[in-house]
Structure 1
Amino acid sequence: MNMSLTAIRFPRQVLVVSVSAALFSQPTLSETLTGGTPDQADVNTLVVVGQATSGLDNLIDQQELEKTQANSLSDIFRHDPAVNVGGAVSMGQKIYVRDIGEDLLNISVDGAEQAGAVFHHAGRINIEPELLKQVEIEAGAGSATAGPGALGGSVRFTTKDPEDLLKDGQNVGALLKAGYSSNGSGNKFSTTVYGRDSGGILSGMVSLVDSNFDNLEDGNGDEIPGSESDKSLGFVKLVANFDEAHRLSVSYEDLNERGDVLYKPELGNANNNVPEPTKGDRTTTIINYGWNPQDNELIDFSVNLYHTDNKQAREYTGTSYDGGVKSVGTTIENTSLLGNHKLIYGVNYRDDKSTLNDVDTSPYHFEETGEVWGVYVQDVVDVTDQLTVTGGVRFDDYHLEDVNGLEFDDDGVSPNLSANYALNDQWSVSAGYAEAFRGPEVKDAFKLSSASNDSSLKGEESHNTELGLNYDNDNFSLSAGVYKSVIENPIGGTVPWSKVAVNLEDDIKSKGVYLRAEYTMDRLQLGASLKKSKVEAGGETVTRYVYGSGAVSIGDTIQLDASYQFSNTFEAGWNMEYVRSIDDIKLQVGTDTLLTEKPSYTVHDIYARWLPTGNEDFSVSLAVNNLFDEQYLNHASVEDFEDNAGWAGIVGSPDPGRDIRLTLAYSF
Structure 2
Amino acid sequence: MKITNKLTIGAFAALFLAAAVPASAEETELAQNNNSAELLQLDAVYIYGDERESSVDTITGEELERSTATSLNEIFKSNPQVSVGGGGLPVAQKVYVRGINDSLLNVSIDGATQAGEVYHHQSRVFIDPMLLKVVQVEAGAGAATNGPGALGGAIRYETKDPSDLLREGQDFGFLWKNSYYSNTDGWKSTLSVYGNATSQLDYLVTASMQKLDDFEDGDGDKVDYSSSDQLLGYLKFGFQHNDVHRSELSYERSEESGNRYNRPNMLAGFGHPVQPNSLHEQTTVRDTVTFNHTFNPDSEWVDGKFTLYYTSNDFERDVPVTEPTYGNAGIESIGFDFRNTSIMGAHSVTYGIDARHDEAYANQINAGFLGIQPDGDENALVYGVYLQDNWDVNEHLLLTAGARLDRYEHEDVDGDETEDTAFSPNVGFKYFVSEELTLYANASRVERGLGVSEAYFSSWADTGDQVEKEVATNYELGFNYEANNFSFGVEVFDQKIEDVVNYSDGDTLGDIKTQGYSAHFGYSFNQWYAQISVSEADPELDGETVIYSSYASASGRTWVFELDYAFENADASLGWRTRLVEGMGTIGGYEFDTYATSDIFGEWSPTEHVSVTLSINNLFDRDYKDHLTLYNSSPTTQDDIGRDIRLSVAYKF
- On whether the aligned pair clears a TM of 0.5, the verdict is yes
1:666 aligns to 2:628 (yes or no): no
Q: Which amino acid aligns with 1:655?
A: D
In structure 2, the residue matched to 1:36 is none
CA distance in 1, matches of 2:52, 2:158: 23
Cα distance per residue 1:91-129 (max 9 Å; x no partner):
221111111111101000000000021112222101111
Give the aligned residue type for 1:213.
Answer: L
Is 1:344 matched with 2:350?
yes
User: Partners of 2:352 and 2:52 in 1: how far apart?
Assistant: 25
Matched with 1:557 is: 558
Separation in 2, partners of 1:359, 1:540: 36
Paired position in structure 2 for 1:14 = none
Instruction: Give % identity.
Output: 36
Once residues 565 and 46 of structure 2 are traced to their aligned partners in structure 1, the CA distance between those partners, rounded to angstroms, is 27
Q: Which residue of 2 aligns with 1:623?
A: 615
Tell me, in whole angstroms, the C-alpha distance in 2 between the residues paired with 1:21 and 1:529.
3
Match for residue 525 of structure 2 among 521, 526, 530: 521
Residues 50, 434 of structure 1: alpha-carbon distance in 2 compared, 3 angstrom cutoff: closer
Task: Find the counterpart in structure 1 of residue 576 from structure 2.
Answer: 574
My pick for the range that moved more, 355-364 or 656-665, is 355-364
- Contact preservation (8 Å) 1:89, 1:261: no
Map 1:345-364 → 2, pairs under 5 A:
345-360=351-366, 361=368, 364=374
Per the alignment, residue 93 of structure 1 pairs with 93
The equivalent of 1:223 in structure 2 is 222
Structure 2 residue aligned with 1:388:
398
Aligned residue in 2 for 1:259? 258
**1:365 to 2:337 alignment:** no
SS of 2:94 mapped into structure 1: coil
Which structure 1 segments of 5+ residues have no match?
A: 1-17, 27-42, 494-498, 587-594, 643-647
Aligned to 2:73, the other structure's residue is in SS state helix
**1:471 partnered with 2:442:** no
Q: CA deviation at 1:666?
A: 0.6
- AA aligned to 1:619 is S
Three-state SS of the structure 2 residue aligned to 1:446 is helix
Letter in 2 for 1:153: G
Q: CA RMSD in A?
A: 2.1
Please tell me whether residue 23 in structure 1 is matched to residue 33 in structure 2.
Answer: no
Look up the match of 1:503. 508
Measured after TM superposition, the shift of residue 25 of structure 1 is: 5.6
Among 404, 419, 440, the alignment partner of 2:450 is 440
1:171-570 paired onto structure 2 within 5 Å: 171-199=171-199, 201-271=200-270, 272-293=276-297, 295-316=298-319, 321-360=327-366, 361=368, 364-453=374-463, 455-492=465-502, 499-504=504-509, 506-544=510-548, 547-548=549-550, 550-567=551-568, 568-570=570-572
TM-superposed CA distance for 1:448, in Å, is 2.6
- Paired with 1:622 and 1:574, the residues of 2 have a C-alpha distance of 12
The TM-score with structure 1 as length reference comes to: 0.87
Mapped contact 2:37–2:82 kept (Cα < 8 A): no
Q: CA deviation at 1:364?
A: 2.9
Could you tell me how far 1:414 is from its partner in structure 2?
0.7
- Contact 1:183 1:216 (C-alpha < 8 Å) held by counterparts: yes
| SS of equivalent residue, structure 2 residue 533 | strand
Aligned position for 2:141: 141
After superposition, residues 595-614 of structure 1 pair within 5 angstroms as 595-613=589-607
> For residues 459 and 222 of structure 1, what CA distance do their matches in structure 2 show?
46
Q: 1:22 to 1:475 in 2, by over 3 A?
A: farther
Residue 412 of structure 2 aligns to which amino acid in structure 1?
D
CA change 1:243–1:21 in 2 (3 A) is farther
SS in 2 for 1:631: coil
Please report how far the alpha carbon of residue 451 of structure 1 lies from its aligned counterpart in structure 2 after TM superposition. Answer: 3.8
* AA in 2 matched with 1:309: S
Uncovered stretches (5+) of structure 2, i.e. residues with no partner: 1-35, 271-275
Residue by residue over 1:354-392, the C-alpha shift from the partner in whole angstroms, topping out at 9 and shown as x without a partner, is 111124248632111111011110001111101111111
Q: 1:653 corresponds to which residue?
A: 638
CA distance in 2, matches of 1:554, 1:171: 48
Count of matched residue positions in the alignment of Structure 1 and Structure 2: 604
Higher relative contact order, structure no. (Cα contacts within 8 Å, ≥ 6 residues apart)? 2
Which residue in 2 is equivalent to 1:39? none
Give the 4+ runs in structure 1 shifted more than 6 A.
Answer: 43-50
Report deviation, 1:576. Answer: 0.5
Offset at 1:150? Answer: 0.7
Counterpart for residue 9 of structure 2: none
Give the C-alpha shift of residue 474 in structure 1: 2.1
For residues 313-344 of structure 1, the C-alpha deviation after alignment (integer angstroms, 9 at most, x for no partner) is: 01346756011100000000000011111101
Q: Deviations over 1:130-167 (max 9, x none)?
A: 11111011111311111112101000100111111111
Aligned to 1:6: none
1:225 shift after superposition: 2.4
Alpha-carbon distance in 1 for matches of 2:165, 2:46: 17
Partners of 2:74 and 2:166 in 1: CA distance: 26
Q: Kindly provide the CA deviation profile for residues 575-625 of structure 1, in whole angstroms up to 9, marking residues without a partner as x.
A: 011100112313xxxxxxxx1121110100000001112x3x210001111
Q: Distance in 2 between matches of 1:70 and 1:171?
A: 29
Contact 1:454 / 1:502 at 8 angstroms: preserved in 2?
Answer: no
> Quick one: distance in 1 between partners of 2:582 and 2:537?
11
Does the 8 A contact of 1:605 with 1:626 survive in 2? Answer: yes
CA shift for structure 1 position 45: 11
Aligned equivalent of 1:84: 83
SS in 2 for 1:432: strand
Structure 1 residues 45, 284: closer, same or farther in 2, change over 3 A? closer
Output the amino acid matched with 2:315: Q
Q: Distance in 2 between matches of 1:424 and 1:21?
A: 24
Q: Distance in 2 between matches of 1:44 and 1:341?
A: 15
Matches within 5 A, 1:150-161: 150-161=150-161
Aligned residue type for 2:73: S
Q: What's the secondary structure of 2:74's corresponding residue?
A: helix
- 8 Å CA contact 2:219–2:621 kept in 1: the answer is yes
Paired amino acid for 1:514: S
SS in 1 for 2:120: coil
Contact kept in structure 2, 1:303 and 1:332, CA below 8 Å: yes
The answer to whether the 8 Å contact 1:19/1:479 transfers is: no
CA offset digits 1:501-526 (Å, max 9, x no partner) = 3122x310001111011101121000
Asked if the contact 1:225/1:269 (under 8 Å) is kept, the reply is no
Report the residue type matching 1:501 in the other structure.
G
Cα deviations by residue, 1:432-472 (Å, 9 ceiling, x for unpaired)? 21111221112422223344225321121100111101101
Q: Distance in 1 between matches of 2:147 and 2:408?
A: 13
Q: Kindly state the Cα deviation for residue 21 of structure 1 after the two structures are TM-superposed.
A: 8.3
- Classify 1:47/1:666 alpha carbon distance in 2 versus 1 (closer, same or farther; 3 Å): farther
Secondary structure at 1:452 match in 2: coil
Change in Cα spacing, 1:304 to 1:45, as seen in structure 2 (3 Å) is closer
The whole-number CA distance in structure 1 between the counterparts of 2:580 and 2:633 is 23
Q: Name the aligned partner's letter for residue 666 of structure 1.
A: Y
- Aligned in 2, Cα 1:267/1:437: closer, same or farther, shift over 3 Å? farther
Question: How far off its partner does 1:292 sit?
Answer: 0.5
Question: CA offsets, 1:389-423, max 9 Å, x none?
Answer: 11110111111100011111112111111111111
8 Å Cα contact 1:20/1:479 also seen in 2: no
Secondary structure of 2:353's aligned partner:
strand
Say if 2:631 is the partner of 1:639: yes
Contact 1:368/1:443 (<8 A) preserved = no
